[in-house]
Chains A and B, each alone.
Chain A
Amino acid sequence: MTELPPFQILIDEHADDVLAMLRGAVGRADADDCFQETFLSALRAYPKLSDAGNLRGWLITIAHRKAIDHHRARGRRPVPVAEVAEVAVSDPEPGDGIWAAVGALPPKQRAAVTLRYGSDLPHAEIAAALGCSPEAARRSLHEGIKRLRKELA
């Protein structure tokens, strides 16, 4: 077994990346909660981790799982509103890079894009996570990608 570095080193080196990725995946408002859950889960599992080779990848994987949990929980408790507005509810910080652009997408598109390309989920699972039909998931994904292309062009 490789020797595990002190957990604080993982925080010092990767916390910013994990938070940026989560802001893209679930939006600013909920990213902090997912961030806490991510690092608590990691801390819980850490002593039994057998491979210290790619700690960043390990953390990002856990963060993706937390983002998926977050979307699933949302799907299970839909908030009743008069009209579903497809506008960004979060106020993403302007910043460089693809995550900033992803973070600026409307919530459903943002979730679909992150789950597809960040977590590598198939359409059916994205649909399950978002609580919508596979067609709707595919449409959100398509719209999101179209918008990103335009933004990043």
Chain B
Amino acid sequence: MKNSLNLLAERASDEGLLDVAYTTADSPFGPLLLAATPRGLVRVGLPSQDASGLLADLAARVSPRVLEAAPRLDAARRQLDLYFEGKLTDFDLPLDWQLSKDFRRRVLRAIARIPYGQTRSYTQMAISAGNERAVRAAGTACGSNPIPLVVPCHRVLRSGGALGGYGGGLPMKEALLRLEGVLEDPRR
């Protein structure tokens, strides 16, 4: 049955019927959901998020032709592995931004340009997205980031340096900032 299903996913892909391919990938924080359209990575689900809910959301918002197809996510999984090992600082993956619109998308695109190991404030992100007064909306955009980790919303902090929030939970945000050398690792 497994071969049969792999073949099915392959043929669906060849015929242009695989609108959303997904797989799960291990991470130090637990399983991640990775989903891609033919255009690129469209969704990363963090361990704290309900994977079946995310898939239902993709079916409703992108296409119900959602199939498990690990090979389509090979590059993303490899790069995330290297990132968690501290061996990769810049993701090189095509992204599909369709789940974010307008101002939110501009904020997320600006976040995608924050270099590894650096942080910005929500205010700075609002300015980068072209509306310095929309700080709260910039915060909301971070919170709704459909492609966390690859679009590094964990690098956005409150103006005073407080951590702010994180979809994967604050311990994960702290751990990522320690990994990138922004926060000191107490174990060292």
Question: B136 near A: Cβ within 8 Å?
Answer: no
The residue of chain A having its C-beta at the shortest distance from the C-beta of B64 within the complex is: A4
Q: How large is the interface on B (under 10, 10 to 19, 20 to 34, 35 or more residues)?
A: 20 to 34
Contacts of A46 in B (CB 8 A): 64-65
Q: Is the CB of B60 within 8 A of A3?
A: yes
Q: What is the total of A-B residue contacts with beta carbons within 8 Å?
A: 58
Given contacts A15-B1, A43-B65, A46-B64, contact A6 B11 (CB under 8 A): no
Contact A47/B4 with A6-B55, A6-B58, A8-B68 known, Cβ cut-off 8 Å: no
The reply to whether B8 and A36 contact each other, CB–CB distance below 8 Å, is yes
Q: Considering the complex, which residues of chain A in the window 1-57 have a beta carbon less than 8 Å from any beta carbon of chain B?
A: 3-8, 11, 15-16, 19, 32, 35-36, 39-40, 43-44, 46-47
CB distance from B98 to the nearest CB of A (A): 16
B7 at the interface (CB under 8 A from A): yes
B93 lies within 8 A of chain A by Cβ: no
Closest to B60 in A: A3
Taking beta carbons and an 8 Å cutoff, which residues of A are in contact with B? 3-8, 11, 15-16, 19, 32, 35-36, 39-40, 43-44, 46-47
Sorted from nearest, which 10 A-B pairs have the closest CB atoms?
Answer: A6-B66, A4-B64, A6-B59, A6-B55, A43-B17, A8-B68, A8-B67, A39-B8, A3-B60, A7-B65
